[in-house]
A and B are shown apart, each in its own frame.
Chain A
């Protein structure tokens, strides 16, 4: 198991280095002149050159990349050309909000999607199965930002049950920072009220994000359950007289979940990249909103930073999936 883990870890290194090179080139080789923008509309050529020198943008690209890489080693993601704040600090401040949202959405998707997939496989070709197929296609086709707007309209504006946007009321003090996850921080502080408020803010954006992965997880779980049900060992178990529910919940579901894990891992990265839309709708102060603002102002250091962080998390999510596959299914370890 250790060797398997080490080998997978080693394989991620070239991928990560390639990722930095790629995003750096995209950020720097494209037209558009952020330096002139940052220096202001009336800046003279000399002032623009000053700004360029200040941020090291006048040096050759390869030198810039080299110093960016060595900065990364020290946890330095460069400086925003507009706010002049270190990108690493901004990322550290905004990343927990995004992760909290993604985890909440993933939790909803898995908690509902897995049992529904199992159920539709058992009721195969009866009406719940037929309905679920159309519903899943519909759910995948629903734009998250439109769903978010509809949820806001219904639950926040008309019914007034849940807050419209944001993460925590500005008028109140959030729980002291421990993990950056407001729900967990509230629990750590033993503040039940703050926990409730944080959950209320979290619910609508998490729902808007969870629909599409929920549908995919459900369909994957259905397909893998059907496949497992046809295995010989299920027949053997049935012949041994084990009860239907024991076979289904103990043996079939465990193997079916293993096959679905890959999709869950893939969706984790997809959700991270897609938070941009939901964060924009709900004014959720995460890295997606940060990236949108930076993209619009052509502030490339933050954009590179966000892309890099999301890419890295994505690579490690896949690694984690592989490791979990190895735990659930020992056959994977040998290859």
Chain B
């Protein structure tokens, strides 16, 4: 980033370019809505008591109506309320996966890129290995072994998430470490760790943030997939994938039970993908065509 352009001006220019694409703006709006639901979903829901776990068996399997736009489920809970509350699990788990993956991947990639030699060789072959095992299989096996629970699920998914970041950061670090400012820092006696974390890594932040935004949708999708298979967050915590899995058992007759959670997963993933695509266009001129 050149120092001649004031950061404020650069931000304005980026914001202008971003808003020129209505798809990116749509993505931003969708993501903002999701974040709002994740924070306040249980309170915004029309039937907060259903989110808390209360049931109304007299009103079970009601088709969509004004009172219940997406119908009610097998114990008479309002499907819309549960889906709104479910945003929290998906967003929090997705964020946690991406952040954990980024943290581990950045550290490993930075060390590999900066140290080079056999350290680089060992760490990168480890990353390659992870890339040969399908992430979902690995997550399934680890999550099942660790048992149910949000933290275990996040750990299981993040385990196959870091290699992508490690490769990205390694490549960026290797490109940066030959630059003048690194030589200058070394000349005044800065330690290796200080050079790496204070001088090189801040320059790598932009591509990493873009990758994080692109990955968020996929992380949410993986969380929902594990929920659908029956591994991960357990009921009564509302989770979209698990809700879909329950709905599958009541399928043709009570189809509306599947509609709202399925659409919620799609909208959440789509929103983050639109946003990530827009951000990439902004920061990566090569991808712009």
Task: Give the B-binding residues of A (Cβ under 8 A).
Answer: 15, 18-19, 22-23, 26-27, 30-32, 134, 137-138, 140-143, 145-146, 149-150, 152-153, 157-158, 223, 226, 269-270, 272-274, 276-277, 280-281, 291-292, 295-296, 298, 300, 303, 306-307, 310-311, 314-315
Contact = CB atoms under 8 A, between A and B. Distances in A.
Contacts of B46: none
A145 B146 contact: no
A32 B255 contact: no
Dominant secondary structure of chain B at its interface with chain A: helix
Could you say which interface size class chain B belongs to?
Answer: 35 or more
A173 to B, nearest CB: 29
Contacts of B265: 143, 146
Contacts of B144: 32, 295-296, 298
Given A26-B138, A280-B229, A295-B140, A15 B128 contact: yes
Contacts of B247: 149
B133 interface: yes
A276 B137 contact: yes
A269 B262 CA distance: 25
Interface of B: 23, 125, 128-129, 132-138, 140-142, 144-147, 217, 221, 224-225, 228-231, 241, 244, 247-248, 251-252, 255, 258, 262, 265-266, 269-270, 273-274, 277, 289
Contact of B133 (A141, A158, A311): A311
Contacts of B241: 145
Contacts of B141: 26-27, 295, 300, 303, 307
Contact of B132 (A19, A150, A292): A19
A274 B128 contact: no
Contacts of A277: 136, 225, 228-229
A158 B270 CA distance: 28
Nearest to B141: A303
Given A143-B224, A295-B140, A32 B146 contact: yes
Given A149-B248, A276-B136, A280-B229, A143 B142 contact: no
Contacts of B289: 223, 226
